Amino acid sequence: MHCSKLPQNMDGLTLLCCCLVLFLSLIFFSSVSFAEKISESEQACMACHSQNMVLNFEGGEKLSVKINIDEIKKSVHRIISCSDCHGFKAEQHPKRTFKTKRQYSSLASRTCTQCHVSHKTEIHSRLLSQSPAGTVCTDCHGFHSVQRARELPKGNNYCLNCHNREMSITFKSGEKQSIHIHKDILDSSVHRNLSCTDCHFGFSSEEHPVRTFRSKRDYSIAMSESCRRCHFDKYTRTLEGIHYNILTKGNLQAPVCTDCHGAHSVYSGRKEKFANAKKCEKCHSEIYSAYSRSVHGGALILEHNEDVPICSDCHSAHDITDPRTTDFHNAVPQLCGNCHANKVLMKKYGISPDVLDSYLQDFHGITLKFYKQGGKSAKPIAVCTDCHGIHDIAKLSSPNSPNIKANLVKRCQKCHADATANFPDSWISHYKPDIRKAPLVYMINLGYRIFIPFMIIGLLLQILLHIWRYAANR
């Protein structure tokens, strides 16, 4: 009814009565519609099962038999009567006893096969074969709130309906891989805002493809490819690294994304330096052992000092260069200088921040710069690691340190075979020369600072004097 069609002389009371009649009519027809959905037989069932009732088992377990009518109305089974599944009507309610709740669930699930005779699809067969013994339909699909797979809530909870159980997949090699996923692990991951299908693409509520892999390692390598969908910049850098190079040459043990970052328990690589270093230990155990005994590793592991470098600080995280190459060797001074030329950081520990400058100004640094500028790098030039060690760097005060005067000559003899005990004396360390540590060098430098300016000034004055004399005598 449109307001335009109402009589013009209708008063407010009459209009109010009409609206009230219309409202009551809507309530009536709604109740009729509801009654049509619930048959008399079902109404008889709900007369009891809408109440708080409990079924007691012989073993002492209890099960609520209160039924929420709203769940049934939303269920895919809403057009089926209670007796279609339970096999009896309210007036013919049998008295049955069960030993356990599990026995009751198993019996109730048998009725599913009356309609779903072809329920054992390939995915069902695999799930049932891998599930705990005695797994039945209702364990996954529920009782009264049964929904179509495509109507179930989307997101991770949908996948966890199955994957929260102890299940595994078996590869052709005979190896097994657990596919039991803990929700708390997902929630603590940096990927907690992603859905399962963001990584496991090709899977959905309607489609669950069955894929076979030769081995557990083949599966890990294949799954790591999904990382590039979001982390394309980092993934492409790995293609330039030594790990990917080894992988392409047939070494399947070379690490991929999930080996370092994890699969479901992914954490930020910017945090927890110690955890990051431990990842490298899985493959480089001997190197990690040497690092743990060094001045850097000891400070990290024993003192929990995260100012020290870890593996990825020197070797990078993704585009890892082969450390045996000449390019990596020649880049070591700048690499060490990232920390040791940091004045704020070095002041914190009482270490000279002039190590890089002093190296670049001595014979080795100048020679290295000369060779790099000329494109000549075949001849090895001593860099930081040649004198201080690589992963086993010790404190200068340590008796085993190769850098104290007693042991430094041994390092020098690696390149200078005829070096004597006095050979290292020409090196004044990485500290700027002063009156106490290197008085002779300090005085010579001071003399040059004074002599050279005076010489330049005197030369300029001499030139100006000659010019003045020449002009005056003309």
Q: What gap in Å lies between CA 90 and CA 73, rounded to an integer?
A: 19
Residues 363 and 426 in one domain: yes
Cα pseudo-dihedral 204, 205, 206, 211, rounded to 10: 50
Q: Is residue 85 part of a domain?
A: no
Q: Report the pLDDT value the prediction gives residue 8, as an integer from 0 to 100.
A: 46
More confident residue, 111 or 261: 261
Query: 417 and 355 in one domain?
Result: yes
Domain containing residue 375:
351-432
Number of domains making up the chain: 3
| Calpha distance 30→49 (Å, rounded) | 23
Identify whether 385 is part of a domain: yes
Mean pLDDT for 1-22 is 50
- β-strand partners of 169: 177
- Are 439 and 467 in the same domain? yes
> Rounded to 5 degrees, what are φ and ψ at 352?
-65, 130
Instruction: Decide if pLDDT at 399 tops 70.
Output: no
Residue 36: the pLDDT is: 44
Higher pLDDT, 358 or 442: 358
Count of CB atoms within 10 A of residue 107's CB?
A: 12
**How far apart are alpha carbons 160 and 70 in whole angstroms?**
24
Residues 410 and 463 occupy one common structural domain: no
Q: What is the pLDDT of residues 15-34, one digit of tens each?
A: 555 555 555 555 444 444 44
The C-alpha angle 283, 285, 290, rounded to 5 degrees, equals 140
Give yes or no: residues 385 and 420 share one domain: yes
The pLDDT of residue 375: 67
- Note whether 397 and 424 are same-domain residues: yes
Angle at 262 between CA 260 and CA 264, to 5 degrees: 165
Considering the entire predicted model, what is its pTM?
Answer: 0.62
Write the secondary structure of 112-179 as one string of H (helix), E (strand) and C (coil): HHHCCCCCCCHHHHHHHHHCCCCCCHHHHHCCCCCCCHHHCCCCHHHHHHHHCCCCEEECCCCCEEEC
Is the pLDDT at 215 greater than 90? The verdict is: yes
In a domain, 418, yes or no: yes
In a domain, 202, yes or no: no
Confidence category of residue 10, pLDDT binned at 50, 70, 90: very low
pLDDT digits (tens, 9 = 90+) for 227-248: 988 999 999 999 999 999 999 9
Average pLDDT, the chain: 81
Whether residue 428 sits in one domain with residue 355: yes
- In this structure, the answer to whether residues 357 and 377 fall within a common structural domain is yes
Q: What was the pLDDT predicted at 1? A: 40
**Tokens 């000659």 correspond to what residue?**
466
Q: Report the pLDDT value the prediction gives residue 454, as an integer from 0 to 100.
A: 86
Residue 166 belongs to some domain of the structure: no
Torsions phi, psi for 177 (to 5 deg): -130, 120
Residues 366 and 387 grouped into a single domain: yes
**How confident is residue 338, by pLDDT bands cut at 50, 70 and 90?**
very high
Please check whether residue 184 lies inside any domain of the structure: no
Question: CA angle at residue 275 from 387 to 298, to 5 degrees?
Answer: 40
For the chain, helix (H) and strand (E) counts, in that order, are 26, 4
Would you state the structure tokens that stand for residue 190, as one six-digit string?
A: 């940096």
Residue 65 identity: V
Is 369 found in the same domain as 424?
yes
In this prediction, residue 6 carries a pLDDT of: 40
Q: Strand, helix or coil at 64?
A: strand
Q: Is residue 24 part of a domain?
A: yes
**Same-domain status, 366 and 422:** yes
Question: How far is the C-alpha of 174 from the C-alpha of 191, rounded, in Å?
Answer: 31
Torsions phi, psi for 176 (to 5 deg): -120, 145
Indicate whether 158 pLDDT > 90: no
* Mean pLDDT score, 324-339: 91
Higher pLDDT pick, 149 / 83: 83
Contact of 284 with 277, CB cutoff 8 Å: no
Pick the closest to residue 387 from 363, 405, 412, 369 (CA basis): 412
Q: Is residue 403 part of a domain?
A: yes
Considering the domain architecture, whether residues 398 and 453 belong to the same structural domain is answered as no
pLDDT recorded at residue 20: 57
Distance, CA of 66 to CA of 47 (rounded, Å): 10
